[in-house]
Amino acid sequence: MSDDHVYMTLAEGHEDDSRWAYGTGFEDPLHGVDTTVPDGVDAAELAALCVALGDDALVQAQRLGEWTTRAPELEEEVALANIGLDLLGQARLLYSRAGQADGTGRDEDAYAYFRDADHFRNVRLAELPNGDFAFSVVRMLLLSSWRLAQFQELTSHPDPVLSAIAAKGVKELAYHRQYAAEWSVRLGDGTEESHRRMRAALEQTAPYLGEMFTAYDARDEVVAVLRQVTDTAGLPMPVYRPLPGSGRAGEHTEHLAPLLAELQSVARAHPEATW
Amino acid sequence: MVTTLPDARLARRIAEQVPDPELPMLTLADLGVLREVRVGDDGTVVAELTPTYSGCPAMAEMRADVAARLRDAGFDRVEIVTRLDPPWSSDWITPEGRRKLTEHGIAPPGPAPHRAAGPVPLVLSPTRRTVHCPRCGSADTEETSRFAATSCKALWRCRACREPFEYVKEI
């Protein structure tokens, strides 16, 4: 091992790994972490929770990635991509944990690339098309506030792996929410047009809150953030009727399947590809 | 024939010198990413790394680099493990690491926010943060973008010397 070139180092270190062509783990992201499921923790429940939280993150990351080359400014493009990358990292860790916990030994790729839409458990708000920038900002505000509250509680989950993933995620979600909240205020308190678009985005996204609160009741936290942001921005609080159905039960909009088709196309075309 | 266990201190010194792939002026020890280096009963050198961000794409490179350096130094059995708990904090960047960042035109982070139990408060009023320009030392600086080329940095500019610079965020 004398070659300092990083790709040489990687190739040499992972001769047996034949599947890093599409940029997934050269190694399990939880490599070396004690993966024993503690006594008193239901392994199947733990796995299902990790998959659901991983799906929320992966699907949202994919939507954020779609902004690349299309965002209003280069700085925002970088911001959205960075936030997507954090969520992708959270998804990788959660899928790895799920595969260990459910006893199947499936790796992160199996969850991300080789399940169809009806097996995904993300909430539907994550999969809706990007719409305009206001819609994406409001979506991020709701999803990050809700996820932040849940991750905070999960920092005391009896599974030490999930609690560590959550503790890491809390730090990231706090600045995702900050980004979304600041843009919400800027747009809500901006021009007539940006204000109108923010109102529309709040009305379009709010009906999906019902499903989110059924999955994890962070009503108090999310409503408090929404109130703080809308008060500061001079926007009305959205009034909504929750939509029936739930992504957590595998009931999705027509938008998830095309998203997954794009996300999974390379991995499925070349399932054992080597680079 | 006498077999001796590998020297853990030597292994640590080798691992400590591995540069960070994204911030090559820093070693993994400067960055606080390298945690414990120990020798197991079977003689395996185990080095623990803590990722800076969940999505840090440099983790695989870091793992491979540390393993390669240790093997080059003659340690036959090497294992690099991920340690998630406690999560990485920018407070772990050493004073030496901070000095090197400044020397290379990157402003080092201030103290990481201390979080009490309970919901994380959302602060919408502008937060005043004094960041000194790593080139001229002026405190007359402003943020241009909170997100930059890597997750750990923001973009700032100095109003005194007019230079843009990167700033390692507190986390």
For residue range A124-141, what is the model confidence (pLDDT) as tens digits? 999 999 999 999 999 999
Interchain proximity B63–A31, CB inside 8 Å: yes
B125 touches chain A (CB under 8 A): no
B171 touches chain A (CB under 8 A): yes
Q: Per-residue pLDDT tens, chain B, 171 aa: give them.
A: 456 777 999 999 999 999 998 899 999 999 999 999 999 989 999 999 999 998 887 888 899 999 999 999 999 999 999 999 999 999 999 999 999 999 999 999 999 988 777 889 999 987 778 899 999 999 999 999 999 988 899 999 999 999 999 999 999
- Is B77 in the same domain as B102? no
Residue B132 tokens, joined: 């000194």
What is the complex's ipTM, to 2 decimals? Answer: 0.91
Tell whether B120 is covered by a domain: no
**pLDDT surpasses 50 at A16:** no
**Nearest residue in chain B measured CA to CA from A186:** B124
Tell whether B118 is covered by a domain: no
Domain assignments of chain A as residue spans, ordered by start: 39-269
B67 touches chain A (CB under 8 A): yes
If you average pLDDT over residues A29-43, what whole number do you get?
89
CATH class of the domain comprising A39-269: mainly alpha
Interchain proximity A225–B51, CB inside 8 Å: no
Out of A85, A163, A167, whose CB is closest to B151? A85
Count CB neighbours of A2 within 10 A. Answer: 6
- Is B61 in the same domain as B106? no
Domain around B163: 95-112+127-168
Cα distance between residue A141 and residue A250, in whole Å? 23
- Residue A48, CA distances (Å) to A54, A61, B90 in order: 10, 20, 32
Cα distance between residue A205 and residue A90, in whole Å? 23
Count CB neighbours of A235 within 10 A. Answer: 21
pLDDT band at A275 (very low <50, low <70, confident <90, very high): very low
Interchain proximity B124–A182, CB inside 8 Å: yes
Report pLDDT for A274.
57
Report pLDDT for B3.
60
Tell whether B23 is covered by a domain: yes
- Is B74 in the same domain as B132? no
Cα distance between residue A226 and residue A237, in whole Å? 7
- Is B31 in the same domain as B64? yes
Number of structural domains chain B divides into: 2
> Which residues does chain B have within 8 Å of residue A146's beta carbon, measured at their own beta carbons?
none
Secondary structure of residue A79 in the 3-state scheme: helix
- Is B25 in the same domain as B75? yes
Out of B53, B68, B71, whose CB is closest to A89? B53
- Is B52 in the same domain as B99? no
Interchain proximity A168–B54, CB inside 8 Å: yes
Tell whether B117 is covered by a domain: no
**pLDDT surpasses 90 at A178:** yes
- Is B105 in the same domain as B57? no
According to DSSP, the residues that pair with B165 across neighbouring strands are B156
**CATH code of the domain containing B67:** 3.30.300.130
Smallest CA–CA separation between A253 and chain B, in Å?
A: 27
Smallest CA–CA separation between A22 and chain B, in Å?
A: 13
